[in-house]
Structures are given as C-alpha cells and as structure tokens.
Amino acid sequence: MCWQGELTAAREYCERALDLYDPARSKAYLAFSTQDMAVQAHYILAFCLWNLGFPDRALKQAQEALALAERLSHPHSLGTALHGLGLVYFWRGEWEANQRQLDRARALAQENDLGDFVIWATLEHDLARGFQIRSDAAVALVRQSLEAMAPRDWE
C-alpha cells in the first residue's frame, strides 16, 4: 500500500502489524526471512508518517526500528533500520546524523556481504554529501555510485 501511494492505509496496516508482533515468533520467522517484520513495519511507517506531514513521529518510528534491529542482531533488519533512520535524517537535513547511519549501514553491509545494501548505502551517502558540498567532486561521487548500480538486473 505504501509504495502505491496509499499512505493512510499503509500506516494503519503497519500500526496493526506492530500491535500483532510477537518477538518470540519473530525468531522462528527470521530463520528463513531476510527481514524482521516489526523492523520493516517501523521503517514503512516512518516513510508514511513523513509523507503524511508528521516528521517527528517519522523520526521516532525510524529510531524504534533501529533499537529493535540492534536488539535482534539480525544483519538485514539492522541494515534496513540504519537505512531508514538515515533517510529520515536526510529528509530533515540533519547531515551529520544521516552520515553516521549510512556509514554504519555501509560497514554492516560490507562485513556481512549484504550485496546491494553496500551500493544503496554508498549512493545515499554520496547524495547527502552532494547536498552539503554542492561541488563537482560531489557530483562525480554521485555519478560513480549511480554507475555502480547501472549494470545490475533489477527485475
């Protein structure tokens, strides 16, 4: 629903998912999934809240996603949460906080061989630098990151 633009409905689904979340059952689910469902729900909820005009609530949801992911010590969930919090900081123009989260996401992705997480974290890191510096060097970094994505088959 979120990615189709149905933000209010997506928000309601995410809030319901969080109400139903059972950490004990989540451990079994993580044995065969790449994401903890509550981390994902917090992440999507943050996106929805931001776009519905609730920036402080979006930040709180992104922070809750990260806190949960850190407790779980699940690399993919942690990568998602770091990305989500970094994105909210990006939207808020909080560049230092944004860079900290994306640096952590990139290091986590490299340490755990999380493939595309490295590419996405690098691209978003470079985009944020471009907004701060606005120089030819920053543009070159963004282009380099985009080129790293170009040959990939996203289907």
Which pLDDT belongs to residue 145? Answer: 67
pLDDT score, position 102: 87
Q: Which of 98, 80, 81 lies closest to 89, judged by CA?
A: 98
- Under the banding of pLDDT at 50, 70 and 90, the label for residue 20 is very high
The rounded distance, in Å, linking the Cα atoms of 71 and 142 is 33
Domain boundaries, the chain: 2-149
Q: Which fold has domain 2-149?
A: 1.25.40
User: Could you tell me the pLDDT band of residue 149, with boundaries at 50, 70 and 90?
Assistant: low
Place of tokens 């969930």: 77
Tell me what pLDDT residue 153 has: 55
Give per-residue pLDDT as tens, 76-119. 899 999 989 999 999 998 988 998 998 898 899 889 888 777 77
Tell me which amino acid residue 85 is.
L
- Cα 16 from Cα 144, distance rounded (Å): 41
pLDDT in tens, 113-148: 887 777 777 777 777 777 777 677 777 776 776 676
Task: Please give the pLDDT value at position 152.
Answer: 57
Residues 145, 32: Cα–Cα separation, whole Å: 31
Confirm if 80 and 40 have CB atoms less than 8 A apart.
yes
Cα separation, 39 vs 77, in Å, equals 6
